[in-house]
Structure 1
Amino acid sequence: MRVIFAGTPEFARSALAALHAAGHDIVGVFTQPDRPAGRGMKLQASVVKQLALQYGLPVVQPQSLKLDGKYPDDAKLAKEFTDAAQADVMVVAAYGLILPQWVLDAPRHGCLNIHASLLPRWRGAAPIHRAIEAGDTQTGVTIMQMDAGLDTGDMLLAETCAISAQDTTASLHDKLAEMGAHLIVKALEQVGQFKPEKQALEGVTYAHKIEKAEAAIDWTQTAQVLAQRVRAFDPFPGMTIRWGGEVIKVWQAHVQTPARIEDIQKKPGTLLAVREDGLQVACGEGVLCLTQLQNAGGKRLPVADFVRSFKGQVGDVFQS
């Protein structure tokens, strides 16, 4: 099929590679403009752009696709390219721009989205993070016929994936990226033969974008919720605690059975134990054991190494 691909991060890169390997005629790739990155803040192309150039595919990087928006010239050029491409379908995976109606209508079979959840649960920008944060035990990938709403289109294909107790956003991302790549190739084999399924009106949840402000640990929350958030926010933004004027990132933690009954009644944030197998901290409910941490400017350390330079003592209180 003649395909326009739209995507930006690693999740989308996997899908582009799969479509190319399957032999589809990828007539153009839309991706976000180059952004400053790294210590030198040099402009860096998205991983999708890098792969597209490797394949020798034409790349389009509009600031916006709205013809009446802030960048109408960008949108006009994108429309001229899209009209000329005469694509059968557009495949969209974590592109990062809202598609206006002219884009949705341009390909013969419309636009198909690879969404990393089982819709209608976790519509929106961060479905992988929010599924782990909520304690879900199952998620998956949905191939959806896009419409003007936010992930509200008819479902075409779906596949489920278990969320293990050890999964972080990083590990679950990789599983779902591979699943999405496989599923979109399967979907293009069936274009024109689908019986689209309307999304249920019940069970709708929204996966709001992850903000850096969410990183700070609130010790008044339960240990279970905090353990889920630690996994959900790995690799970004990482959960943080403040100690001695420094910010420490927490990368691994689990719920700990309290050693003493009186620990249950300690003020949230109280350091209950400093051990080589974990820093135990009282929460609003339960005890959280921190097992991998990172000092500012340092690297991730197992707690056995971290405690060698940590000056905290039992009874100290981390601030929320």
Structure 2
Amino acid sequence: MNQKRIVFAGTPEFAVPCLQALLHSHHLLCGVYTQPDRPAGRGRHPQASAVKQFAQTHHLPVYQPFTLKDETAYQTLVELRPDLLVVVAYGLLLPQRILDIPTLGCVNVHASLLPRWRGAAPIQRAILAGDSETGITLMRMDVGLDTGDLLAKVTCPILPTDTSQSLHDRLAALGADLLARHIDELEHLAATPQDHYGACYAAKLEKNEAQLNWQDSAIQLDRQIRAFNPWPVATANVFGQMLRIWAATPLAETHQSPPGQCLRAQAEGLDIATGEGVLRLLTVQKAGGRPLAVRDFLNAHPELRSHLKPPT
């Protein structure tokens, strides 16, 4: 079995299992590309990506160009003489002449069943849309945004309780497994062009999307809460103050109360009237506080019970 010279390009935690799978294969990892260190945390100190941290722990050479469009970046990759470039959530655009360097081309591990949810936030968008399943796609790369030919797929159910974090973790493991199963035979896999008419785009998340509107249905609000956990975390006006909502569940219940009214405050949760149905808040957080189960939240803030109005 021929050993391939592989360059890996990835940045967040999602990409680490794929890098680990390549490290444990018989192929030669001759370089790891990841985005430059970014300011993070309260002190805004530069922080290495999850991929960089893993690569350095395993003594892999790391490259962090700000762009792949200049001559220096091009020559650096040429000198690595890659047979294959494997890209997983890298975050930088790859020009055609970069894609042309590896003799076996470039492949991408993407967290959706392409052509559905091309783009930056496929996991969150799938939850927001109420999809019942998603998956991992292994594809050949071209200069488009997740538009290359399909090599392999694996499906994954989206559970009613899935958050972006829980789904992320399952998909990351599935992606590594799919890559490991096909890495030896990539050049022999049949490539299937995507049906571009079935494409939809997973735009990058914006913080303002996490603001809940009680006029929406309980089902849609629950999707938002799960999609925005762990970032940017859903927020809502409850008891006249903004709370972060970490977990909730929609109830099969009708009401005649105005959306946003708290119908019940009990150990099981805060039941809030919505535009359609009732949403039970399970874990909430005040500004400056920490996430608390509603039972603990009410014990810590007994004065909030005075805001309750009898349901109509």
TM superposition score category, shorter chain reference: over 0.9
Cα deviations by residue, 1:114-138 (Å, 9 ceiling, x for unpaired): 0001011111100111111111111
SS of aligned partner of 2:77: helix
Q: Could you say which residue in structure 1 is the equivalent of 2:187?
A: 192
Judge conservation of contact 2:244–2:284 (CA < 8 Å) in 1.
Answer: yes
Judge conservation of contact 2:67–2:73 (CA < 8 Å) in 1.
Answer: no
Q: Could you say which residue in structure 2 is the equivalent of 1:315?
A: 309
Report the CA distance between 1:288 and its aligned residue. 0.8
Matches for 1:232-311 after TM superposition, within 5 Å: 232-243=227-238, 246-258=241-253, 263=255, 265-308=256-299, 309=301, 311=304
Runs ≥4 in structure 1, deviation > 4 angstroms?
Answer: 243-246
Cα deviations by residue, 1:51-75 (Å, 9 ceiling, x for unpaired): 11122111111111223xxxxxxxx
How well do the aligned residues superpose, as a CA RMSD in angstroms? 1.6
Matches for 1:161-200 after TM superposition, within 5 Å: 161-200=156-195
Q: Distance in 1 between matches of 2:47 and 2:270?
A: 39
Judge conservation of contact 2:32–2:55 (CA < 8 Å) in 1.
Answer: yes
Report the CA distance between 1:203 and its aligned residue. 2.5
Q: Could you say which residue in structure 2 is the equivalent of 1:38?
A: 41
Judge conservation of contact 1:143–1:187 (CA < 8 Å) in 2.
Answer: no
TM-score, structure 2 normalization: 0.94
SS of aligned partner of 1:195: coil
Q: Could you say which residue in structure 2 is the equivalent of 1:63?
A: 66
Q: Could you say which residue in structure 2 is the equivalent of 1:70?
A: none
Judge conservation of contact 2:269–2:280 (CA < 8 Å) in 1.
Answer: yes
Aligned residues: 305
> Does residue 113 of structure 2 align to residue 118 of structure 1?
yes
Q: Could you say which residue in structure 2 is the equivalent of 1:16?
A: 19
Report the CA distance between 1:185 and its aligned residue. 1.8
> Does residue 126 of structure 2 align to residue 131 of structure 1?
yes
Report the CA distance between 1:179 and its aligned residue. 0.6
Q: Distance in 1 between matches of 2:18 and 2:190?
A: 23
SS of aligned partner of 1:173: helix
Judge conservation of contact 2:238–2:260 (CA < 8 Å) in 1.
Answer: no
> Does residue 18 of structure 2 align to residue 4 of structure 1?
no
SS of aligned partner of 2:196: coil
List alignment gaps of at least 5 residues for structure 1: 68-75
SS of aligned partner of 2:270: strand
Give the percent of matched residue pairs that are identical in Structure 1 and Structure 2.
48
| Correspondent of 2:213 among 204, 213, 218 | 218
Residue identity matched to 1:132: I
SS of aligned partner of 1:202: helix
Q: Could you say which residue in structure 2 is the equivalent of 1:100?
A: 95
Q: Could you say which residue in structure 2 is the equivalent of 1:142?
A: 137
Report the CA distance between 1:306 and its aligned residue. 1.0
Judge conservation of contact 1:217–1:239 (CA < 8 Å) in 2.
Answer: yes
SS of aligned partner of 1:175: helix
